[in-house]
Amino acid sequence: MGICVIIYSLNVFCSRILKNGDDVESDKLEKGIGDLMVGIIQKREKLTTGEGNSYGSDFLGLLLNARKDAPGNYKLSLKDIIDECKTFYGAGQGTTSILLSWTVLLLAIHTDWQDKAREEVLRIFGQQNPTSEGIARLRTMNMIFSETLRLYPPADVLTRKVQRKVRLGKLILPANMNVNIPLLALHHDPKIWGKDAHLFNPERFSEGVPKATSNNPAAYIPFGLGPRNCVGMNFATNEAKIALTMILQHYKFTLSPNYIHSPIHMVLVRPQHGVRLFKSSDDIEAKKIEQEIYDTLMAIIKKNEGDDKRSRQLWKRFPWITNKSKPRC
Ligand code: HEM
């Protein structure tokens, strides 16, 4: 026992003063990220006068304005600002892009839902850019995102540290214990979701979370729960809705046979080999334009049918029309 303690202590001691290849690489990366951020912050500080809210209204601008206005002890340090930027980038960027990846995968398989979502998008926005008023009306898309977050929550485990001894149901939890809450298990439990718990069925969210969870909303927590839940929830949902709206306005897609289904936990649950898609038809807008050009040309040709010389010229310029093949624009 004594020897074990000595070996363990020696190991801890050595690992503090000696670094292996991974430690060195990780220090290098951390310094690189820190330097990059200092560069961005300094550039922003140089660009502005520092008066009023002149550092800008984006996230970095708000932090710099807050630092300027705060009294002495409450001032954010440069390190605080760098840490905040890292947190928001880390918590906000990967999560939302992974949500979009899983959603596009599911819509590529369930093309009936892809069509429903596109119908809704075209009804609300046509080919115009999404507006905040319209985003609030995307009911079908909301159901699709809810179901995707149920099946593939990017963060699959929540952790809480027990501050003092508490009773949790039949269990007594001692202080300082870490409790892991497995989102995936909750989100896939047939007792809560029914027999089709493992299937993609956005319809289950048609009447909201309480109905979908049989009045047990704490069983659905892709953004966490309680006072420390995700602060970026609304931002992420709006961002994802804008992106998916614009994707659906321009593309139809199906799954490539080369796609390999392999969800992997690397900080977040992500598709290990990405999501490979086929554009099942070309850009919808381009198709519309193609059709318009085709119709116009056909009309011109019809009008000139009696005029042999002009007709010949037209046939020469647009040979694909004579073949009755599809136009290639
Ligand atoms: C689909 C996208 C997202 C998902 C699924 C997600 C999920 C989560 C989850 C599960 C937590 C832990 C909550 C808890 O422990 O109860 C969390 C925390 C957090 N999220 Fe998100 N998040 C997303 C997007 C974002 C975005 C876009 C931002 C920032 C712009 C963000 C910022 C944060 C921050 C700062 C925390 C820590 C909150 C705290 O500890 O008080 N998240 N998120």
Total domains in the chain come to 2
102 Cβ closer than 6 Å to some ligand 1 atom: no
Residue 271 and residue 294 in one domain: no
Enter the tokens of residue 293.
């050009």
Residue 212 in this model has a pLDDT that exceeds 50: yes
Asked if the structure places residue 307 within a domain, the reply is: yes
pLDDT for 306: 67
Residue 205 and residue 249 in one domain: yes
Residue 142 and residue 206 in one domain: yes
CATH number at residue 122: 1.10.630.10
23-82 tens-digit pLDDT: 899 999 999 999 999 999 988 888 776 666 678 888 899 898 888 877 777 788 889 999
How many beta carbons lie within 10 A of that of residue 301, not counting itself? 16
Q: Which amino acid would we find at residue 13?
A: F
Residue 314 and residue 221 in one domain: no
Asked if the structure places residue 327 within a domain, the reply is: no
Residue 271 and residue 203 in one domain: yes
Q: Which domain holds residue 114?
A: 95-153+182-281
Of all protein residues, the one whose alpha carbon is nearest to atom 19 of ligand 1 is 230
pLDDT for 173: 96
Give the distance from CA 45 to its chain's centroid.
30
Residue 138 and residue 244 in one domain: yes
74-129 tens-digit pLDDT: 788 889 999 999 999 889 999 999 999 999 999 999 999 999 999 999 999 999 99
Residue 243 and residue 318 in one domain: no
Q: What angle do CA 279, 280, 284 make, to 5 degrees?
A: 80
Residue 1 in this model has a pLDDT that exceeds 70: no
Residue 309 and residue 291 in one domain: yes
Asked if the structure places residue 211 within a domain, the reply is: yes
130 Cβ closer than 6 Å to some ligand 1 atom: no
Between CA 125 and CA 129 the distance in angstroms is 7
Positive or negative, the Cα torsion across 100, 103, 107, 112? negative
Residue 132 and residue 260 in one domain: yes
User: In 3-state terms, what secondary structure has residue 110?
Assistant: coil
Residue 119 and residue 238 in one domain: yes
Buried b (16+ CB within 10 A) or exposed e, 53-67: eebeeeebeebbbbb
pLDDT for 327: 38
Regarding pTM above 0.85, the answer is no
Strands 166-168, 157-161: pairing kind: unpaired
Asked if the structure places residue 123 within a domain, the reply is: yes
Residue 209 and residue 312 in one domain: no
pLDDT for 303: 75
Q: Which of 113, 203, 99, 197 is nearest to 155 (CA)?
A: 99
Average pLDDT, the chain: 86
Q: Which atom of ligand 1 is nearest to the CA of 227?
A: 41
276-308 tens-digit pLDDT: 988 765 556 556 666 677 777 777 777 776 666
Owner of token pair 């980038």? 89
158 Cβ closer than 6 Å to some ligand 1 atom: yes
Asked if the structure places residue 272 within a domain, the reply is: yes
Q: Which atom of ligand 1 is nearest to the CA of 159?
A: 15
Asked if the structure places residue 222 within a domain, the reply is: yes
Q: Does 14 show up as a binding residue in the annotation?
A: no
220 Cβ closer than 6 Å to some ligand 1 atom: no
Asked if the structure places residue 90 within a domain, the reply is: no
255 Cβ closer than 6 Å to some ligand 1 atom: no
